[in-house]
Structure 1
Amino acid sequence: MGLKHQRGVSLIGLLLLGTIGAFVLLMVFRTVPAITEYMALQRIVGVLATEGDNGASPAELRQSFSRRAQVDDVSSVAATDLDIVREGNQTVIEVDYERVVPMVANVSLLIEFHVSSRAR
């Protein structure tokens, strides 16, 4: 009879998979606050665009943003960072920003976000 080959994961393979899995989990846990802030900004920009469609001025929209950002704990974007324009009878609000998420030691993850009221 021939030799039987064992199947399965070796100890080295298991350790390697565990290390990769731990690093992926670390990345996910560290990026959750940035994603949560992005989702809050999407919601705020949508509400502000509706207010702008109802006649609010850019200055009023910036004040409203400041109040809402404080409530939702948005710190990466200030009211002055918002690009507010009127296109026909629609208010379009956009903002681009970056967020640096520290991972391990001097390794960081840079995430670039674009928030817009165009796709509402």
Structure 2
Amino acid sequence: MNYHKKSLKQKGIGLVSLLMWSVVLVLIAITSLRIVPAYLEYSSIKKNLTAVARDTSLQNMNLNQIRLAFSRRAQIDDIKSITSQDIRINKENGEIVLSVDYTTKIPLFFNISLNIDFQAKSN
């Protein structure tokens, strides 16, 4: 029998490449796990601002009562990034509009952190 020698060329990923990609994926996963709660809290803040602004029983109330209504909702949803004093209250076209700007600092690892600026407004 005649066997022809074929040049066997390896295909696939090596151990060093696998380790490097694993480190990159772990860093992305850690960063994502730290960032997601900030965006969930932003979503909760926006939802509560909209709910307070649409509450018909608060349309003729003073600013302190509107802030108190938000504060109660924030306590239920465990909002810690802002307080009711951070909210700006305006009237546009006869409707109450609540808005807030805030920054969240997220420590990633070692001395590296991420600052995210949020702007939430009731619709």
Structure 2-normalised TM-score?
0.86
CA shift for structure 1 position 40: 1.0
Q: Does 1:89 align with 2:103?
A: no
Q: Deviations over 1:14-53 (max 9, x none)?
A: 1111001101110111122212211110110001111267
**Kept in 1: contact 2:59–2:96 (CA 8 A):** no
Match of 1:50 in 2: 54
Matched, 1:31 2:35: yes
Superposed counterparts of 1:99-114, under 5 Å: 99-114=104-119
1:57, distance to aligned residue in structure 2 (A): 2.6
2:81, 2:43 → 1: CA distance? Answer: 13
Partner residue in 1 for 2:44? 40
Structure 2 residue matching 1:6: 3-state secondary structure: coil
Higher radius of gyration, 1 or 2: 2
How many percent of aligned residue pairs carry the same amino acid? 31
Q: Is the 8 A contact 2:103 2:116 kept in 1?
A: yes
Q: CA deviation at 1:55?
A: 2.7
TM-score for the superposition, normalised by structure 1 = 0.88
Q: Which runs of 5+ in 2 are unaligned?
A: none
Structure 2: how far apart are the matches of 1:56 and 1:28? 41
In the alignment, the residues of structure 1 paired with residue 119 and residue 8 of structure 2 have an alpha-carbon distance, to the nearest angstrom, of 56
Alignment size in residue pairs: 118
Give the secondary structure class of the aligned counterpart of 1:75: coil
Q: CA deviation at 1:67?
A: 1.1
- Deviation string for 1:58-114 (max 9, x for gaps)? 221101111111111111101111011001212111101011111111111111111
Q: CA deviation at 1:3?
A: 4.2
- Structure 1 residues not aligned, in runs of 5+: none
